[in-house]
Structure 1
Amino acid sequence: MFRTILISAAVMIAANATTFAGDADKESKVTLVFDHELPNAPGMSMKGVLVEYGPGGTSVAHTHPNSAFIYATVLEGAIKSQVNDGPVKVYSAGESFAENPGDRHGLSENASQSKPARLLAVFVVDTKEQDLVLPYR
């Protein structure tokens, strides 16, 4: 069932796009594609975010709301990622990783300089949270 939700969220690409600041040719595109309040967890929602990277694309270092647990699956290409002070890892299409509340995502970028990459990040987060990606300073 969770896989069905992930696939449905990826297919339901909607408006509400946000792009990170930086070099316009290397910015990632972030789009909210799914938003549903959880009936068995009052005040919490599941939100799906599609992150698209062009060749060599990157996201600025960031965190997420303190209530957010994130499960991310690479849909296309390969993503280079580092969470907190952990190792830098490359995740290929079909591979997944998680971020716990309070984690810092210091590195998130397309591992390829010639092919695009996409990932779907599924958040379990306080319903009131609107800003899901917060710059890390």
Structure 2
Amino acid sequence: MKSRLIPISTLIVASLFTLPGAWAHGPEEGQEAVNILQQQLPANAPGKKAIMLTVDYAPGQASVAHQHPGAVMAYVLEGEVVSQLKGEHKPVTYKTGDFWYEPPGAAHLVSRNASQAKPAKLLVWILVDEQRPVTEPYRQEGRG
């Protein structure tokens, strides 16, 4: 299966208006690249889809604040990534070989390359309801 490159911010917008799996956008200048490696409907989890993807950050690149309606596991393949979920009192820098978990619905306030000189790359695994998007825009309480 041929992989597709998509920036997270494009996924957020596109996933609100398209059917699941209908992503066909390339990365735009200044945005991280998301490469979907595989997408499956696990037989032991009816109504769910499992997605494995990579996120490539150029030096100094950052994602817009977002949230995932499903569970997320991330592993740093290359470089260093700074991440902060809502409720964490400070951002955490993860290095190659480090990993973390995001519970469903967690707001991802910070996600960026820690380096201004070297690229960074994540391997991400997501389990989400079949009809839900992978990412959604972050909505602060009291705001639409």
Query: After TM superposition, is the score higher than 0.5?
Result: yes
1:17 aligns with 2:19: no
Q: Give, in angstroms, the shift of residue 128 of structure 1.
A: 2.2
- The aligned counterpart of 2:125 is 122
Q: Give, in angstroms, the shift of residue 72 of structure 1.
A: 0.4
User: TM-score, normalization: structure 2?
Assistant: 0.76
1:29 aligns with 2:33: yes
Letter in structure 1 aligned against 2:75: T
Which of 81, 84, 104 is 1:82 aligned to? 84
- Does the 8 Å CA contact 1:25/1:57 hold for their aligned counterparts? no
Aligned CA distance change for structure 1 residues 119 and 13 (closer, same or farther; 3 Å): farther
Letter in structure 1 aligned against 2:122: L
- Does the 8 Å CA contact 1:13/1:31 hold for their aligned counterparts? no
Matches of 2:35 and 2:76 in 1, distance apart? 15
Aligned CA distance change for structure 1 residues 128 and 120 (closer, same or farther; 3 Å): same
- Does the 8 Å CA contact 1:26/1:55 hold for their aligned counterparts? no
1:97 aligns with 2:100: yes
- The aligned counterpart of 1:9 is none
**Pairwise CA RMSD of aligned residues?**
1.8
Which of 51, 55, 66 is 2:55 aligned to? 51
Q: Give, in angstroms, the shift of residue 20 of structure 1.
A: 2.6
Q: Give, in angstroms, the shift of residue 19 of structure 1.
A: 5.0
Matches of 2:138 and 2:118 in 1, distance apart? 27
Q: What are structure 2's unaligned runs of at least 5 residues?
A: 11-27, 140-144
* Number of equivalent positions: 121
Q: What are structure 1's unaligned runs of at least 5 residues?
A: 1-11
- Does the 8 Å CA contact 2:4/2:34 hold for their aligned counterparts? no
Matches of 1:72 and 1:88 in 2, distance apart? 15
User: TM-score, normalization: structure 1?
Assistant: 0.80
Matches of 2:46 and 2:9 in 1, distance apart? 31
Aligned CA distance change for structure 1 residues 110 and 102 (closer, same or farther; 3 Å): same
Letter in structure 1 aligned against 2:125: V
- Does the 8 Å CA contact 1:51/1:119 hold for their aligned counterparts? yes
